[in-house]
Chains A and B, each alone.
Chain A
């Protein structure tokens, strides 16, 4: 079958067995790969009432029919699992090289089940796989273990790609993530914790091999047209500066306590993309097939934050800049790198730290609670030490390793009201969503542990804060596009949910006559499978909501006084109805499931 490596690797860690699983063409076409295939396997194989750390949980790491081709950014993988923060489905993506090399090694994906008695890492090479003792690599951070594994296998540079967990994942921090090479994060909802519970430290895949496509010239032409649509993109690292200067109110500041950032002009300018690239960029580290200026290496040459970091994303800079009250751009860059190295999901890291700092500033916690850490706003040294404490579950860090929702609930009192999270247990991305209603609403109703649609696909005014009907309508009507893209193995910055071009690329790769409509159905299938999985796990309508602080009313800034909360129930009913779900309960209807070819799910939801 052209466009596919032809098999998934099935890894049974309990038995210590590896085997190949082949899916027939009809199944490949129905689910493609990535979250499509991952959600099918999750739904069919993981008992909904199991714990995230149960051996019965699966970790599915999948590319798709475009993985490792000439399409820009086609080294992306999707990880699907039952996540550690929500106890529900997870779908997260990491860019880089791993997805391409996994396909070159002969595998469209990996399905990991069971629990290994000892720590292992997995090797994929030239059509076969091996589990190897990971003892020599334990304790290494994600940058170091990737380098160490390459050295151990006698390869350099980009001859191999590594997916790994850091100390946070090893210690089952609930918000630990999984990282590809240096800094490509697939981390929402505790993917690293799940891998840690299975005692999988890393997976290494080698560059040798290729994927055969049906119409290589046509695919080359499509990929060039895709590139011409996105050639303007030059990364997100400058987003803190541009977001604040735009006056939109969407820069998150000091745990949502304000929309006014008291930062001197010069220090704000230093957060700009040009300023950062000019001063710190030392090289490029592009993902597979990508020609965009995005993944670079940055070096802070001297001073307290000296070091080399893979280019942080906007959300990392937002977390370690304004969310925690830090105005030093070098500190933000350093903390972004440290977060990745220790193996944490950076959104949760920022919200947890911002919450703690607000609690500390308000006297709700003291140095006695924090083990001596002075968690005043902007205390970078304290943040560094805090991250190490959490990664190793030392002292106060053990509570914080449970994530901001559980930690704030345990702490109780006023502290509970200050934390930013969804009632499912995951935290939002790095904006002030009180001005981006669409993203707050989607984050709360999503079944994936993060967003489930994308504001860039919505029309003007649908992002909010304004028309709640328009917002909830477009969150529903754009569903499935992201999941289609996340089923084919490409980077969103490269393919930008352009369903027509992606479908044309899939046709070129596979030889099918694949349409955008068919692609959106693949996406909606994944959305409905994850929704059904979550419902069976007890995650229902009552959890499709923000925490008190997350859904709070801004006190200042351009959207002061506006609140989404009064509209929430009506938005939910509208959204559920448009999704083809019961407008009162959110349960997918029989008709919706039949239409998507998910008849087998119907009896489970009666």
Chain B
């Protein structure tokens, strides 16, 4: 399946891209997408996405269809064909 990923701030700098289409296996989760991207772009991106144990962190903010993943099923949120995933900077409060 295809998902469109839009990058902002640190993720944009690390990938050199504003957006791209990523091909994933059907039923992939946000966590799996993160691992795909971390592997593709290496440390420049993975440093923002993964903790020391290799698990996704909350340093960046992830939206699926405009909704924060933690309002869905967190990093276990399953993606669908055509989903838009936004990878944004941390939201610190307000």
Contact = CB atoms under 8 A, between A and B. Distances in A.
Contact of B92 (A230, A235, A274, A455): A455
Given A232-B8, A273-B71, A456-B92, 6 more contacts: A232-B6, A234-B66, A238-B68, A314-B94, A430-B93, A463-B59
Contact of A315 (B57, B59, B66, B94): B94
Interface stretch (A49-57, A159-167, A240-248): A240-248
Contacts of A314: 93-94
Contacts of A245: 70-71, 74
B93 A239 contact: yes
Nearest to B94: A236
A313 B93 CA distance: 8
B67 to A, nearest CB: 6
Interface of B: 6, 8-9, 47-48, 57-59, 63, 66-68, 70-71, 74, 86, 88-94
A201 interface: no
Contacts of A272: 71
A431 B93 contact: yes
Interface in A222-281: 229-230, 232-236, 238-239, 241-243, 245-246, 248, 269, 272-274
A507 B6 CA distance: 29
22 contacts: A229-B8, A232-B86, A234-B66, A235-B94, A236-B94, A238-B68, A239-B91, A239-B93, A241-B71, A242-B70, A245-B70, A245-B74, A248-B58, A269-B71, A273-B67, A274-B67, A313-B93, A315-B93, A455-B90, A456-B89, A456-B90, A456-B92
Contacts of B71: 238, 241-242, 245, 269, 272-274
Contacts of B86: 232
B90 A232 contact: no
A454 interface: yes
B60 to A, nearest CB: 9
B70 A236 contact: no
Closest CB pairs A-B (n = 3): A242-B70, A236-B94, A245-B70
B83 to A, nearest CB: 15
Residue from the set A235, A242, A315 with the largest chain B CB neighbour count within 10 Å? A242
Nearest to A293: B66
Interface in A469-511: 493, 496
Nearest to A429: B93
A372 interface: no
A460 interface: yes
> Which of B47, B63, B67, B91 has the most chain A CB within a 10 Å cutoff?
B91
Contacts of B6: 232
Contacts of B47: 459-460
Contacts of B67: 273-274
Given A236-B91, A314-B93, A455-B90, A242 B68 contact: yes
A22 B84 CA distance: 51
Interface size class of A (residues with CB under 8 A): 20 to 34
A314 B61 CA distance: 15
Contact of A313 (B8, B59, B66, B94): B94
B66 A236 contact: no
Greatest chain A CB density within 10 A among B47, B59, B86 is at B59
Contacts of A234: 66
Interface string A34-51: 000000000000000000
A232 B48 CA distance: 18
Contacts of B58: 246, 248
Contacts of B91: 233, 236, 239, 456
A454 B92 contact: yes
A205 B47 CA distance: 47
A269 B73 CA distance: 12
Nearest to B88: A232
Contacts of A439: 92
Nearest to A315: B93
B81 to A, nearest CB: 22
A600 to B, nearest CB: 35
Contacts of A230: 8
A234 B8 CA distance: 14
Given A233-B88, A242-B71, A273-B68, A460 B48 contact: yes
Contact of A246 (B48, B63, B70, B93): B70
Contacts of A313: 93-94
Contacts of B66: 234
Contacts of B88: 232-233
A241 B70 CA distance: 8
A237 to B, nearest CB: 9
Contacts of B8: 229-230, 232
Interface in A433-476: 439, 454-456, 459-460, 463
A469 B38 CA distance: 27
Nearest to B8: A232
B88 to A, nearest CB: 5
A232 B93 contact: no
Contacts of B89: 456, 496
Interface string A356-391: 000000000000000000000000000000000000
Interface in A312-328: 313-315
Nearest to B86: A232
A493 B47 CA distance: 24
A68 B93 CA distance: 25
B68 to A, nearest CB: 5
A230 B6 CA distance: 12
Contacts of A229: 8-9
A235 B94 CA distance: 9
A411 to B, nearest CB: 29
Contacts of B94: 235-236, 239, 313-315, 493
Contacts of A235: 94
B92 A460 contact: no
Interface in A105-130: none
A438 to B, nearest CB: 10
B10 to A, nearest CB: 9
A495 to B, nearest CB: 13
A460 B68 contact: no
B90 to A, nearest CB: 5
B51 to A, nearest CB: 8
A230 B94 CA distance: 15
Residue of B9, B48, B70 most packed against chain A (CB within 10 A)? B70
